[in-house]
Copies of this chain bind each other. A is one copy, B any other.
């Protein structure tokens, strides 16, 4: 058995995405790599899983450098299949990405990239989601590599608390030389939807979801602040969604009269 860590690599943009291929190349400098990724893009899938239809796994050979499996399901499905059906032993870490586009602040909720990392976290595996603030399929990922290597090695060295995974976002190359890595909280932000209403050739209305991003948070300890100021943002993310601070006041309500 290899002494090198076993690294599960996945994403939500699909197994041929340049962001994934970059992540694989970085992981080869750290450990033994197995790829289990969706066979087609799964962006904005949130934490969907496939329970009402079947799942397929295809062993594929893309560059001959590591075992790779294309899966018909969502990113969360890929992690479940990897851990339970594909891998001989539990991976030492799961990395997801590099996503083509931001998963900062509220985007974490909609993110397939982060859903894979969260699923690994639920299974007790240290996990990181990486995203680049560039939606372009041919984005330049070169400046991401050193940051990804540093963060992954630190996670392997220190571990992560139970129930915690990391959400890492990296500024666009165009932003110039980066200032470093900053540990942040998730900014309070949302999307202001604008549905683009159209009429199809049969006369029926349909809609495209579009919108603009609104950051309502002025804090300098947020991921949005860090990214706007040239830092790589690292947000520790949990899947205990309990709003512990709200329990006390709700207990004063008349719920049992």
What string of 1s and 0s marks CB contacts (under 8 Å) between A214-257 and chain B? 00000000000000000000111111111111110111011110
- Contact partners of A236 in chain B: CB under 8 A: 242-243, 246-247, 250
Q: Which of A47, A50, A244 has the most CB of B within 10 A?
A: A47
Instruction: Indicate if A77 sits at the interface (CB-CB under 8 A).
Output: yes
**Contact among B46, B50, B183, B245 for A251, CB-based, below 8 A:** B183
Instruction: Indicate if A131 sits at the interface (CB-CB under 8 A).
Output: no
Instruction: Indicate if A139 sits at the interface (CB-CB under 8 A).
Output: no
Q: What is the chain B residue whose CB lies nearest that of A250?
A: B183
- Contact partners of A46 in chain B: CB under 8 A: 45-49, 76, 115
| Number of chain copies forming the complex | 2
Chain A, interface SS category: mixed
- Contact partners of A163 in chain B: CB under 8 A: 188, 243
Verify B209–A241 contact, CB threshold 8 A. Answer: no
- Contact partners of A123 in chain B: CB under 8 A: 190
Verify A206–B56 contact, CB threshold 8 A. Answer: yes
Least Cβ distance of A204 to chain B in Å?
Answer: 7
A residues 70-107 with Cβ under 8 Å of B?
A: 76-77, 80-81, 83-85, 106
Known A-B contacts A190-B122, A194-B84, A243-B238; the reply to A55 vs B209 at CB < 8 A is yes
Interface bin, chain A: 35 or more
Instruction: Indicate if A1 sits at the interface (CB-CB under 8 A).
Output: no
**Contact among B110, B118, B208, B237 for A54, CB-based, below 8 A:** B208
**Contact among B80, B190, B207, B241 for A57, CB-based, below 8 A:** B207
Complex Cα distance, B3 from A96, in Å, reads 49
Instruction: Indicate if A213 sits at the interface (CB-CB under 8 A).
Output: no
Verify B110–A49 contact, CB threshold 8 A. Answer: yes
Verify A49–B241 contact, CB threshold 8 A. Answer: no
Verify A241–B109 contact, CB threshold 8 A. Answer: yes
- Contact partners of A52 in chain B: CB under 8 A: 41, 43-44
Complex Cα distance, B54 from A195, in Å, reads 10
Q: What are 10 pairs between A and B in contact, CB < 8 Å?
A: A41-B52, A44-B52, A47-B109, A49-B110, A106-B239, A108-B241, A164-B243, A237-B241, A237-B243, A238-B243
Q: A47-B109, A56-B205, A185-B240 are in contact. List 11 more A-B contacts (CB 8 A).
A: A43-B52, A48-B110, A50-B209, A55-B195, A80-B193, A85-B197, A106-B239, A157-B253, A161-B243, A183-B247, A239-B241
Top 5 A-B pairs, shortest CB-CB distance: A46-B47, A46-B46, A236-B246, A238-B243, A236-B243
